[in-house]
Structure 1
Amino acid sequence: MESPFSLPAVLHPALTGRDAVVDALYRCVMAFDTNDAALFDSSFMQDGVFDVNGRAMEGLPEIHATGLALIFRVDTTHMATNVRVHMRTATEEHEASLTATVLSQHFAKGKGMEPGQANLMAGSLYRAELARDTDGLWKFKHLQIKSTWAEGDWSVVVEDFNEVEK
């Protein structure tokens, strides 16, 4: 579902270089926060791997059924910072690596504005391998997320990805 808070995947004027690579991360986390599956898909290769704390999901169908089913069950805000990009070659910029630090806040769906609601805040490290797709957008081939700390109530989110079924 598209959100009024999501811009189109392809921006005008077109982004270039490192900015275009970082935009894959921004599209991904904005999709988390706005429940925008189409925007999320614009950040991942069809056969991409999404690895969250050691639980790897391969290909967009599995990522949707497991990962996005979990993420879209809660209201979130993700703030990405300390983003670093390494372009594979200086002459042909078709592959890149990215690292970032991400702070994420989670509330039960529709409960974030209600006083005293349970919530979970987490700090995570992101590590990604990306490639430029045929549509010109940079997309994740592999996105690894490692949570390094969490504070709050884990019951806000499902801890075991295997509990989430489509």
Structure 2
Amino acid sequence: MTDKVTLTPREAVVDAFHRCLQGIDNNDHALFESACLTNETMAIVAGSTTLDGWTAINEFFERLFALVTSHMTSNIRVQMEDGADTASLTAHALAHHIRPEDAFKAEDTSYTASSLYFLNLVRDGRDGLWKIKKWEIKAQWTTGDINILHG
């Protein structure tokens, strides 16, 4: 028998963030999608690049799902008002990206980014889950070949 776990509102916001990153790292499209506002109001901003709308975001992540990735986060902070249907989340992240065929090579063929993440989230009225509406990625430093991300 399993007990149903009820998350506090702040935990539920963080859960959306974890669903997103675990979906990416585990190549679990459904889990990733469950964390995203899958309409044309969602946006991801990384430096000078903006992906507007689910169509563009999904297309980019289809390429990312072909990679082996590992996202490690810390210093997660949630800001929200009691009873609100909107929240913001900030975190530090270290993300490793590598082509599957290079995953166990002795030489480093990866792309690594240390970033600050800024997310705006909304509670979805359809399923009650928190979803990412906007994700801003501010790279602090990188190493390796960024072309790994762009094919």
How many percent of aligned residue pairs carry the same amino acid? 36
* Aligned-partner Cα distance in 2 for 1:62–1:52: 14
- Report what 2:131 is aligned to: 139
CA distance, structure 2, for counterparts of residue 42 and residue 84 of structure 1: 21
Letter of the structure 2 residue corresponding to residue 73 of structure 1:
A
Name the residue aligned to 2:94. Answer: 103
Question: What is the alpha-carbon distance in structure 2 between the residues aligned to residue 154 and residue 118 of structure 1?
Answer: 10
Amino acid at match of 1:14: T
Q: Which runs of 4+ in 1 moved over 6 A?
A: none
Kept in 2, the 8 Å contact 1:75–1:110? The answer is: no
TM-score normalized with structure 2 length: 0.87
Which of 13, 25, 32 aligns to 2:17? It is: 25
Amino acid at match of 1:124: S
Q: 1:58, 1:49 → 2: CA distance? A: 5
Change in CA separation of 1:107 and 1:136 when aligned onto 2, cut-off 3 Å: same
TM-score, normalised with respect to structure 1 = 0.80
Q: What is residue 54 of structure 1 aligned with on the other side?
A: 48
Aligned to 1:34: 26
Partner of 1:6: none
Which runs of 5 or more structure 1 residues have no equivalent in the other structure? 1-11, 159-163
Q: How many residues align?
A: 146
Q: Tell me the SS of whatever aligns to 1:45.
A: coil
Alignment of 1:44-123 (within 5 A): 44-47=36-39, 48-65=42-59, 67-87=60-80, 89-90=81-82, 92-123=83-114
RMSD over aligned CA atoms reads 1.9
1:114 and 1:76 mapped to 2: Cα distance? 15
Alignment of 1:4-15 (within 5 A): 12-15=4-7
Aligned residues of 1:41 and 1:60 also touching (Cα < 8 A): no
Match of 1:127, as an amino acid? F
SS in 1 for 2:106: coil
Structure 1 residue 94, shift from structure 2 partner: 1.2
2:35 to 23, 27, 43: 43
